[in-house]
Structure 1
Amino acid sequence: MKQPKVFEGGCLCGDIRYLVTATKLASHTCSCKQCQRHSGSLTQVWVELSNDQIEWTGPGGLPTVWRSSEYSSRAFCSQCGSTIGAIDDKPTVAIALGTFDSPNRQGLAPQSHSYISKLPKWWRIDHLKTCD
């Protein structure tokens, strides 16, 4: 049996912090209009987990939520405004990958993409200058 991995993350100001414990996480990207507006980006990267895999550890406790659909609420920090993710009515939480302390860790790479048709036709990175 695989040992669970521990992932930590939080908002920009540190008021909202979390600890995720899981043996495997599902990650995907989405370019629907709602994800674009919530993230301020053309594509949002989500890491999905169940409610029992996340512990809210920061001084702010649970993130603030705004009801965004019939089944889900968008979560954010009420202090700095950082996007944290989405909390569904069913026991699913989707955390924005950019809020993880180490988003480049093995096992967090997206496996699928939703609403690719909503991306602008010019959206690709192979023609851009790199800024590393």
Structure 2
Amino acid sequence: MASRSIHLGGCLCGAIRFEARAPASNPHTCSCKMCQRHTGCPTSVWVDFPKDAVSWTGPGGPPSVYRSSDYSSRAFCQVCGSTLGAIDDQPTIALLVGCFDKPGRSDLVPVAHSYTGSRPKWWGIKVHSK
């Protein structure tokens, strides 16, 4: 199904919208200090797309960026401040799953977790039996 590999999303105010026309790759969570500060959360949920597969479709055009390392810039909406992801120097855009219109899609489920030692001791997934 061709539409299965089309992902839509955007920022809180709608100025920045995106369309990713490729299968999601490397869905993962990360608890490194940079991700924590970028998102304000103890863990971020990311998914990668080829840079040429992502189009910025909203009236605000592409997001603003902050150079966060020697290989990547963090992307955000200049209007509402929403964080959208990271635009790497390599041909990759990593988008935060919370920005997607349908974040519950099965191809966005994380398959790995980075920097587990940086997450707060209280962070964890509790399985409740029914």
TM-score of the alignment, normalized to the shorter chain, above 0.5: yes
SS of the residue 2:95 aligns to: strand
SS of the residue 2:38 aligns to: helix
- 2:44 alignment partner in structure 1: 44
C-alpha contact (below 8 Å) 2:16/2:59 kept by paired residues: yes
- 2:62 alignment partner in structure 1: 62
Alignment of 1:2-21 (within 5 A): 3=2, 5-21=5-21
* Gap change, CA 1:77 and 1:24, over 3 Å in 2: closer
- 2:100 alignment partner in structure 1: 100
Provide the rounded CA distance (Å) in 2 between the counterparts of 1:24 and 1:36.
22
Q: What's the CA shift for 1:120?
A: 1.5
Provide the rounded CA distance (Å) in 1 between the counterparts of 2:83 and 2:5.
23
Q: What's the CA shift for 1:24?
A: 4.3
Alignment of 1:67-106 (within 5 A): 67-106=67-106
Provide the rounded CA distance (Å) in 2 between the counterparts of 1:32 and 1:97.
17
Unaligned runs of 5+ in 2: none
Q: What's the CA shift for 1:125?
A: 3.8
Identity %: 55
Provide the rounded CA distance (Å) in 1 between the counterparts of 2:46 and 2:127.
25
Which shifted more, 46-55 or 7-16?
46-55
Provide the rounded CA distance (Å) in 1 between the counterparts of 2:121 and 2:24.
33
Provide the rounded CA distance (Å) in 2 between the counterparts of 1:82 and 1:24.
21
Q: What's the CA shift for 1:121?
A: 1.4
- Flag the structure with higher helix content: 2
Which stretches of structure 1, 4 residues or longer, exceed 3 Å deviation after superposition? none
Q: Partner letter of residue 53 of structure 1?
A: A
Provide the rounded CA distance (Å) in 1 between the counterparts of 2:31 and 2:95.
15
Q: Could you say what the CA RMSD is over the residues aligned between the two structures, in angstroms?
A: 1.6
Unaligned runs of 5+ in 1: none
Provide the rounded CA distance (Å) in 1 between the counterparts of 2:41 and 2:120.
12
SS of the residue 1:120 aligns to: coil
Q: Partner letter of residue 91 of structure 2?
A: P
- 2:33 alignment partner in structure 1: 33
